[in-house]
Amino acid sequence: MSIKKLAAHLGLSKSTVSRALNGYTDVNEQTREKVLKAAQEIGYRANPTAKRLASGKSRNIGIILPAHSRTFVSSAFSKVLAAAAEFLAKHDYQLIVTTIFEWQDEQQVYYDFISSGLVDGVFIVRTRHQDPRIAMLKKHHFPYVCFGFDANFTNDSFVDVDNTQAFYDLTQRQIMQGHTHIAFLDAPLELTFSLARKRGYLQAMHEAHLTIDPRWLLNGELNEHDAMKMTQEIMSLVQRPTCILCADDTMALGAIAACEALSYQVGIDIAIAGYGDYEYSGYTKPSITTVKYDTRLVGEGMSKLMLNKIEDKQFEVNNWYEAMIVIRQSDTYLLTNKI
């Protein structure tokens, strides 16, 4: 009843009002002004649902996050998402987040989401190798942008941190600090970044001609609990590592807790490093040596790629982002061989 009312009020047709409101050129400027003014006064606001139905666009970008039912949004994506959302908001798009639970069928949830008309595009996080979600999105020609690279991805649909380089650098640095026994608590290997990181770690180890005990290379979820268990396992080996690299800061925190519980002094007896530079990582004790990247740029990059896709924008976007080591206390400086 609304544009209709406005039109009636002005003695114009719906079409003219619609055109005036939506910035079309074929409208008399004076008419447009009148319409805009009246709309202002009456407090007219277009009904987005109707707009959506008529135009087929929603101006929403969606993301489906796995809720391990303990947290809604993991720290890993929190900052990137904030940046992505802010950039989108500035272009009059909203980021909307929903969750998927373990008891739900992933393909179904994604399909419902993209076919709901709720969103014009989706972000994918925790990209997996040969990700079935992406296969589905492709099949339905639905716009998507991934955080995480996999083979054959095209530059218009992903951003990623150079995880291989990051863990190569991190590993190499620890080697230069004197470490020869370096463990790596990696994330689940199905995630694309896990393999990339493993590659960086292995390369640095090989180049330094260090042997890699396969028992030092474990995989687990990105949380404190899993990390504690893996750390206990590793530290009970006869050949203990003097350094533990972790896939993120929550794991580093768990690893630190496990070491402390075993009476090792982190930062002295053993070095531990994480990834992600979470909010709290500079405040824990010891504070966590970690790897950070520009979450703002990454988030904006995702949004730019999305707008390039759905609005034919021409934003220049970097696909790859560099990570930098942040040295903190969980690091050891002077390693005096104590094994």
Partner DNA sequence: TTGTAAGCGTTATCAT
Partner DNA sequence: ATGATAACGCTTACAA
**Window of 41-49, 62-70, 84-92, 191-199 that interacts with DNA by CB under 7 A:** 41-49
Does the footprint of a copy of itself cover residue 232 (CB under 8 A)? Answer: no
Does the footprint of DNA cover residue 98 (CB under 7 A)? Answer: no
Q: Closer to DNA at the Cβ: 45 or 338? A: 45
Q: Of the candidates 55, 116, 130, 211, which one interacts with DNA according to CB under 7 A?
A: 55
Q: Of the candidates 16, 18, 27, 79, which one interacts with a copy of itself according to CB under 8 A?
A: 79
Cα 20 to Cα 25, 35, 231: the distances in Å are 8, 7, 65
> What is the DSSP secondary structure assignment for residue 270, as one 8-state letter?
B
List CB contacts of 243: < 8 A, sequence separation 6 or more.
Answer: 174, 177, 179, 181, 182, 183, 270, 271, 272, 273, 332
Q: Scanning the structure block, which residue is given the tokens 């950039």?
A: 87
Residues 22-51 that bind a copy of itself (CB under 8 A): 45, 47-50
Closest separation between CB of residue 25 and DNA, Å?
7
Does the footprint of DNA cover residue 25 (CB under 7 A)? Answer: yes
Size of the site for DNA (CB under 7 A): 30
Does the footprint of a copy of itself cover residue 67 (CB under 8 A)? Answer: yes
Rounded to 10 degrees, the C-alpha dihedral 23/26/31/35 comes to -30
Closest separation between CB of residue 199 and a copy of itself, Å?
29
How many Å separate Cα 86 from the centre of its chain?
14
Closest separation between CB of residue 1 and a copy of itself, Å?
13
**Please, what is the end-to-end C-alpha distance for the chain in angstroms?**
78
Q: Closer to DNA at the Cβ: 120 or 186? A: 120
Does the footprint of DNA cover residue 42 (CB under 7 A)? Answer: no
Residue 261 identity (one-letter amino acid): A
Binding site for a copy of itself (CB under 8 A): 45, 47-50, 52-53, 58, 60, 67, 69-73, 75, 77-79, 81-83, 85-86, 89, 94-99, 101, 104, 112, 115-118, 223-224, 228, 250, 253-254, 256-257, 260, 279-280, 282-286
